[in-house]
Amino acid sequence: MSKHRLQVDSVRYRIGERQLLTDVYLSCETGETVGLLGRNGSGKTTLLQIIFGTRPTVSKHIKINDQVYQAPYQQPDLLTYLPQQGFLPKDIPLNSVIDLYYREAQKRKTLKEDERIQPHLRKYAEELSKGERRYFELLLLLLSDAKFLLLDEPFSGVAPLHVEVIQELLMQYAATKGFIITDHDYHTVLKISDRLILLHEGSCKPISHAEELADWGYVPYGKL
């Protein structure tokens, strides 16, 4: 199976007088999980939204398979994005969400017969726990044709049992998708990532060893 490659280059973003992102570069291939770490306010969510194409900025260069895209989200087979706050509608039960999201009978069947989703098909998103919602949202995205998934805080507020379930779900698709994951649960990100990037003072720092996170001041020494 041929690899697909996402390249993000020359990303700059300013908020008022503050230069939040400065010539950011990162890349990801299908079959690879890239962990994007950084302190609160470092620009992780902003960067994912810029890559997705929904946050405008004065400078960015987004390429997938060497083709430049200004708004990758407009092409359903390129990449998709899991926002921090989720995206499920509040007034539609899960079975109807599935029918609206997918026309393909096989994908609908896969979702509706999933053992973790099936008991909740007649429920609304707000009736689910945070972990149940996250699992459902992720499976919706994973079944898409998108080659890359940008995951913003997929483990935040999720009970430990569901953190493990979500890890297992991501691993099922890890061979064919490319993931860029940011989360403050850095232990989980360390566990599932093939490569680590630290967003620090506006630029991306490749991390070769977990101990370097302490060197950059992201975590205290002795916490890894």
pLDDT at residue number 76: 85
Neighbours of 207 (CB within 10 A): 21
pLDDT beneath 70, residues of the chain: 1, 224
pLDDT at residue number 1: 64
**pTM for this model (two decimals):** 0.95
Edge-to-edge strands, sheet with 18-29: 18-29, 5-15, 59-64, 67-68
pLDDT at residue number 23: 87
Residue 24 structure tokens: 């950011």
Distances (CA, A) of 174 to 8, 18, 156, 179: 20, 36, 20, 8
The angle formed by the CA atoms of residues 186, 187 and 192, to the nearest 5 degrees, is: 95
pLDDT at residue number 210: 86
**Domain limits, the chain:** 5-215
Q: Domain 5-215 carries which CATH code?
A: 3.40.50.300
pLDDT at residue number 221: 84
pLDDT at residue number 36: 98
Residue 218 structure tokens: 């992201």
The C-alpha atoms of residue 9 and residue 36 are separated, in whole angstroms, by: 15
